[in-house]
Each structure stands twice: as structure tokens, then as C-alpha cells.
Amino acid sequence: MHFCIINGVNLNMLGTREPHIYGTETLDDLELMLREHVKDVELTFFQSNIEGEIVNCIHECYHNKIDGIVINPAAFTHYSYAIADAIKGVDIPTIEVHISNIHKREAFRQHSVTASSCIGSISGFGFSGYRLALEHLLYSNRKKDNNK
């Protein structure tokens, strides 16, 4: 199995960006934690501050036959119909993750235009949300493989 973890705008600044909201761990810490959590699965990590690069990454997931996507679109969550359409267009099980609880933040952050394109959304559990998303993708893919 092969999953892609996509992180959006400003998440390259984890560890220094608003640590009272996002914590002090870095994107490298997240990658290490996830690789240790699912050692038997191939993981590809991608981060960009550019919306079109994220769309291209999602398209590449289709061409590379990726089994699932975990995406934290960050601020793109609230207005990127391009990312939402890209997720719909590739028909790959995708789970949206947010480190903070977007429903307890400013009003504009409480709405996600990308969530309806995903099979689920997890918010407010910090880095553990990524682990939960991977666990679900693993379970779903193993269940699908057993039913073949």
C-alpha cells in the first residue's frame, strides 16, 4: 500500500507558527512519527504553499496509483474549490485533517469547501489526527483487498 500525505500553506512553519495553536513539533517530526507508526506502508510526503502545486500532487497520486490521501489543506480548506475538484476528480479515498479544531476557531475557519470531497474529516487532535486518518485508510484498503 502507498499513501500520500499532503500539507498545505504555512504548514512548513510548524514548530514556530503559532505554537499555542499548532504546537512545537515540526513537519519533519510529523513525517518521522507517521513513518514509525506504519512501517509496512509506503508513505509519500508533500507540502506546498501554492494551490496549483497541491492540485498537481493530487493528480500525480492518480497517475501513481496511490491507495489513499491524507490532506491538510490548511487555509486552502476555506476557499479552494480547485483542490476540492481535484480530490473529486481522482476518486482516491481522501481524508481531510486539521491539527486545530477548526470549529472552535474564527468564523471563516469553521467552513471547509474541501471536506465534502473527502470520505471524512478529522480536526482538533493535533498530529494524532494524521495517525487516525492513516489507520482508517489502512483498514479500508485491507478490507477491500480481503473482499477481492
Note if 22 is an active site residue.
yes
Active site residue 81: no
Q: Determine which one of 2, 20, 22, 130 is catalytic.
A: 22
Kindly name the residue from 98, 103, 136, 139 that is annotated as catalytic.
98
d(CA 11, CA 107) in angstroms, rounded, equals: 21
Residue numbers annotated as active site: 22, 98
